[in-house]
Each structure stands twice: as C-alpha cells, then as structure tokens.
A and B are shown apart, each in its own frame.
Chain A
C-alpha cells in the first residue's frame, strides 16, 4: 500500500466525466495514473461509478431483438473453455511509472525515449488519440518551466521529485489541474530531478519571446 501523502487531488467534475467515459484518451491516462497512486480518488471514482450504476438502473429500457438471447447463449457456450489465470503484479510503489503509464511507455523509466527540448528539459510524447496530448517531462532539479498559460485543460502529475508554483508544492502522486488562463511558472524542487506526466487539450501559450521559439520543438 502506498503512503497517503497526496495533497492535490482530482476535482469532482473530472472524476465524474472519467466515470461516464467522456474524456479523451490522454486525459483518461493521467487520471488512471493518478488514481493508481491515490486511494482517495480511487474511492471517489468508485462512488461515481456507483452513480453510473444507479443511472443504468433507473434508465429506460429498449427491447432486445428476438434472437438476442440465443445469440448470446451461443457465444457464452463457445467461449466458456477459457481458463482464468490469476495474475500477479508488482506493486506500484516499487516502480516510478504506475501500470497504465508503463503500458504506454513499454516499461518503467528506463524505457522512456526522451528528447531534449532545451535548458536540460527532456520530453517524451506518448501515443494517444489526438484530441489531447500526453507527455512525460524531465525537469532537472531547480529548473523553471517558462511562464505559460493555456486555453484548455492542463493537468500535471508528479511521478518523481517535486515542483512548486503559485498553487503550492506538488510531490509524487499530486496532480495539478491548471485553470484556464492561469499563468504559472513551475519550478522543480532542488533536491531531485522532477519527472511529470503532463496532459494538455489545447496548445500552451508562452509569455515572452524565447519560450515561443521553443514551442515548435516542444510540439505544443
């Protein structure tokens, strides 16, 4: 079990939308990764899934077709030979990347294909659908990410080290949900290089000239 040190959680509307299945793949990925590390949000999600169950219960019904039951019974007879193996997994606390993220990277941190983007910062864009972008960011200890704002949603989840900005101090498992048009300059904690998963559903807007030059390289 992971120590409960997480202070920055997911807001209700994101949990509800995740439960409802209404978010893009990249946003689903960062939520699933946070929930893997956060028992509070795991429990909250179970609550929202229960609301979904209640909605299904009170939902109207639409009659199934006449042949439906027979088709389904045929299918379950055909498939019922499958043996269910019990799976054993490594605990999340032993790895930097929880399972949903490790699936996209193809392993733990040593499998990440980093690309340098300047100032010692590295990134790896993960293969998700194009509605939103998920990237791993590697920020050397003490480095600041240029001041930026955004028109859409920006979610940042710390996987290693920590960063600080106007909203507070974010350590492993903490997720920052940047509100629209918030300007912020996250600074990686001096004690350790910081690794984050960041998801944006619209391009970031950087203040100033230098970061704008870097924008094409960041791919954002």
Chain B
C-alpha cells in the first residue's frame, strides 16, 4: 500500500485552497499600531491573523505564539488518543512544523485556526497510531476568482466561536461524551448509541455552520 498519489503526505490538513491576502481587513480600528496579540479578540477571530502572517509573511514571531498556544494542546490531544508523552511530544512538534509548511493551505473562510490545526493533529494521530494515511475527499474546484470574501471569513470565524461556546456550555456529561468521541474512546456505533439525543445545542450550531458553508459552496 505504498505511494498512493492522492493520499495526504506529511499529515496534510484537509486540503483547502490557498486564499487571498486578508491582512488589509485586520486592525482597521484603534490607533493604527499594528500589534498581534494572542487571540486578537477584537478582530477576525482568534489566531487568524497569526496564521495569515505565517502564510503570507512567513512571520516567525507569529509562529512562536501559535506554537506556544497550540503545542501543549496538540500534545495533550495526542496523549489522550493513546500516545505516551515522548511520542506525543515528537508528534506535536511535527504537527506544528506542518502548520508552518502547509500554511499556504489555510483558508480563513473555510476553517478556524483551531479546526485547521485539529485536522493536522488528527491526521498525525492516524499516521502514527494506525500507520495509515487518511484518504481525503477530492478538493473542490475553485475558479481563479475564488478569493474569500471578508464577510465569509468573519462569518465562519464567528460561527466557530459560537460552536466553541456551545460546547463549553454543555452539561459536563454531554461534553465528556463528545470529547471521548474525538479522543478515540468511543467507536462509531457507540457514538450512534450515546450521542444521538443529547447533542442538542451543538447540533443546531453545526447546522448553522453548515448553512453558511453550503451557501459558500454554491
């Protein structure tokens, strides 16, 4: 099962077409001083500007901030998925290198930074623990004019934040169930048995996010 051309290599994130430069829509307010602060709460969405700075400017300072925030989360995620600390450390490092190397694939109108980095960590997990590449869906064919609209970027990023909040607001029992599913502690039939009913708010959030994505894909 070697060298299958379309399989992701180097734990590619879900393929997204590289977008346009969106720097011009950041930091229009304020005293004109350009600062990238962690999470940048008053702009497009947490970590978007850092990823865009990495993508378009190869900004190492932004990368260090992303590393310091996401590295420990990716490591924890991989340990919960079953890796020991040393292996999780190594894989988390590789995942963050992938963030740098594949930043041209990041499109803020299609995924929040957390979502995109999650897909990288997830693919790393499959690669290392299952010794498999993950077959990825064929990418959409976008026209040359497919520059993401500012409105789509902001909308997607806001939806992602709403979704995150909805997840945090769930009763802990339900939240645990979802986390277990993503940490690989539930099989798909167990997900079907256990998460069918209590997903409530999460499901409606997913639906809203979907409507937006569907609209964009038209």
Please give the residue numbers on chain A whose beta carbons come within 8 Å of chain B beta carbons, in ascending order: 1, 11-14, 16-17, 19-23, 25, 28-29, 31-33, 35-36, 39-40, 42-65, 68-69, 71-73, 75-76, 79-80, 82, 84, 86, 89, 91-92, 98-100, 102-104, 127-129
Contact = CB atoms under 8 A, between A and B. Distances in A.
B89 interface: yes
A28 B77 CA distance: 21
B121 A49 contact: no
A50 B115 contact: yes
Contacts of A51: 163, 167, 178, 182, 202, 206
A44 B211 CA distance: 9
Interface string B149-174: 00000000001100110011000000
B138 A54 contact: no
A1 B217 CA distance: 9
Interface of B: 1, 4-7, 14, 18, 58, 60, 63-64, 67-68, 70-77, 79-80, 85, 88-89, 92-93, 96-97, 100-101, 104, 110-119, 121-123, 125-126, 130, 132, 134-141, 159-160, 163-164, 167-168, 175, 178-179, 181-184, 186-189, 191-192, 195-196, 202, 206-207, 209-210, 213-214, 217
Nearest to B75: A62
Dominant SS at the B interface?
helix
B132 to A, nearest CB: 5
Contacts of B183: 20, 55
5 contacts: A12-B196, A33-B137, A53-B160, A61-B76, A73-B60
A42 to B, nearest CB: 6
B181 A58 contact: no
Given A21-B123, A28-B135, A51-B206, A72 B93 contact: yes
Dominant SS at the A interface?
helix
Contacts of B163: 50-51, 54
